[in-house]
Amino acid sequence: MTNDAAHNMSELAVELLQRLQRVLGSGRRPVPLHEPCFRGNEWVYVKECIDTAWVSSVGKFVDRFEQELAGFAGVRRAVATVNGTAALHICLKLAGVEPNDEVIIPALTFVATANAVCYCGAMPHFADSEEVTLGLDPAKLDQWLAKSARLQEGVCVNQQTGRRISALVPIHTFGHPSRLEALADVARKHQLALVEDAAESLGSYYQGRHVGHWGKVSALSFNGNKTITTGGGGAILTNDPNLADMAKHLTTTAKIPHRWKYEHDQVGYNYRLPNLNAALGCAQMEQLPAFLDSKRRLATKYREALEGLDGARFVQEPPDCVSNYWLCTLLLQPGREQELDQILEATNAAGIMTRPVWALLSSLPMYRDCPRMNLECAASLERRLINVPSSPALCL
Ligand SMILES: *Cc1c(COP(=O)(O)O)cnc(C)c1O
């Protein structure tokens, strides 16, 4: 950094950088935002796949990974998929989303949430977020639907577009659970299927229960940057065995089980998680409790380091929730938005990888014309949120 740049840097950027450096110590630079940690049986299990030639779309690690996920999340069934987006796509289909429907999603989410809606031939309908959970604002959504939609023979219809609104998809932003109970009430009242995009929230609990229970089906992701990783991967969670069977069928080319015949009864998908990836997942599941402890310790360190700072605060888990603290997050005070770029500049220049939140999906070219409510809070959060290094190994 030149002297000039340092001179012009906001006090907040300087102070924040010092405090982050205190948390992260003087170790290796750069400190990645979130890197995977392989300190368990990864080599052993992956080698077993290669030694036995069970590397592809079926194998014992797939079955074991599914059972362990279901057990951990306390759901009856989990179906592993090739990634989280594919899981969400199938969840939406199973929830009854059809071409030409609208699906309510937050404008403040990763692009995959909207893309999965489009894969169904449906259209995202963007809703606003709230400051406490960083997730959908149930009261605002209820008011919006009461005003702009009507129930017609048990179907929620957008009065402006005439399209059916068929589902509601909350996400648990950076692992912080959304207000699931209130959102489930809104979904019931307006006849929407609730589907949780739980991609970021393995190990997060709402009112004592793991997330992924409030809708009929929900989606997880095991991408390289998530709390545990299979390289790429995802899963569908459900308490309904019939939906689980349908999920398995749809994600495995809709093949009718038979020892040699190729018979398929509908257009299915090749969304299977390879056994190689599931082997990685099984090794990661063994370490998940330790990763979650580490993330919680890191979150505590950040919170304590930021105490009393004027201009920004650490985002804590919402009341009555346990967050997995997938990505630790700072929130600038309203009015400090113009300092965001300087903070990103200063921290990244010092080798501490920080990132702003996603651009609101409602502003992306392919989603610019989609229906939406007023997105005031999401727009404010977009300019105030900063993710800081959160790898599970940082506090192991
Ligand atoms: C990561 C993520 C996904 C997609 O998961 P992939 O495994 O990358 O396809 C979907 N939604 C949200 C909110 C995510 O963070």
pLDDT of residue 27: 87
To test the pocket of ligand 1, the residue of 88, 110, 115, 390 to mutate (highest count of ligand atoms within 8 Å of its CB) is 110
Q: Which helix (H) or strand (E) holds 302?
A: helix 275-306
pLDDT of residue 7: 56
Apex 217 CA angle, 211 and 218, nearest 5? 45
* d(CA 88, ligand 1 centre) in Å: 9
- Residues 337 and 258 both lie in one domain: no
pLDDT of residue 301: 98
Residue 372 domain-assigned (yes or no): no
- Residues 88 and 134 both lie in one domain: yes
Residue 376 domain-assigned (yes or no): no
Q: What is the pLDDT of residues 73-130, one digit of tens each?
A: 999 999 999 999 999 999 999 999 999 999 999 999 999 999 999 999 999 999 999 9
| Tokens 């502003």 sit on residue | 363
Residue 193 domain-assigned (yes or no): yes
- Residues 170 and 120 both lie in one domain: yes
- Residues 20 and 131 both lie in one domain: no
pLDDT of residue 370: 98
Q: Counting atoms of ligand 1 from 1, which one is nearest the CA of 226?
A: 1
* d(CA 223, ligand 1 centre) in Å: 7
Last residue of a domain, one of 228, 250, 285: 285
- Residues 126 and 75 both lie in one domain: yes
Determine how β-strand 205-206 pairs with β-strand 209-210.
Answer: antiparallel
Cis before residue 30, ω within 30 degrees of 0? yes
Last residue of a domain, one of 224, 257, 285: 285
What's the domain range around 178? 42-285
Say which DSSP state 360 is in.
P
> Which residues, at least 6 apart from 225, have a Cβ–Cβ distance to it below 8 Å?
33, 34, 35, 36
For residue 280, give the CATH number of its domain. Answer: 3.40.640.10
Residue 370 domain-assigned (yes or no): no
Last residue of a domain, one of 285, 316, 350: 285
Question: Long-range contacts of range 136-140, CB-CB < 8 Å, 24 or more positions apart?
Answer: 136/104, 136/106, 136/168, 136/170, 136/178, 136/179, 136/183, 137/377, 138/179, 138/182, 138/183, 138/185, 138/186, 139/182, 140/373
Residue 94 domain-assigned (yes or no): yes
Q: Which helix (H) or strand (E) holds 88?
A: helix 84-94
Q: Let me know if 170 is exposed, middle or buried by CB neighbors in 10 A (0-12, 13-18, 19+).
A: buried
Which stretches of the chain drop beneath a pLDDT of 70? 1-8
pLDDT of residue 9: 78
Residue 175 region by backbone torsions, left for phi larger than 0, else alpha for psi between -120 and 50, else beta: left
Q: Which residues line ligand 1 (CB under 6 A)?
A: 83-85, 88, 109-110, 112-113, 171, 197, 199-200, 221, 223, 234
For residue 13, give the CATH number of its domain. Answer: 3.90.1150.10
- Residues 183 and 72 both lie in one domain: yes
pLDDT of residue 262: 95
* d(CA 85, ligand 1 centre) in Å: 6
- Residues 268 and 293 both lie in one domain: no
To test the pocket of ligand 1, the residue of 223, 280, 324, 361 to mutate (highest count of ligand atoms within 8 Å of its CB) is 223
To test the pocket of ligand 1, the residue of 200, 201, 357 to mutate (highest count of ligand atoms within 8 Å of its CB) is 200
- Residues 115 and 201 both lie in one domain: yes
Residue 366 domain-assigned (yes or no): no
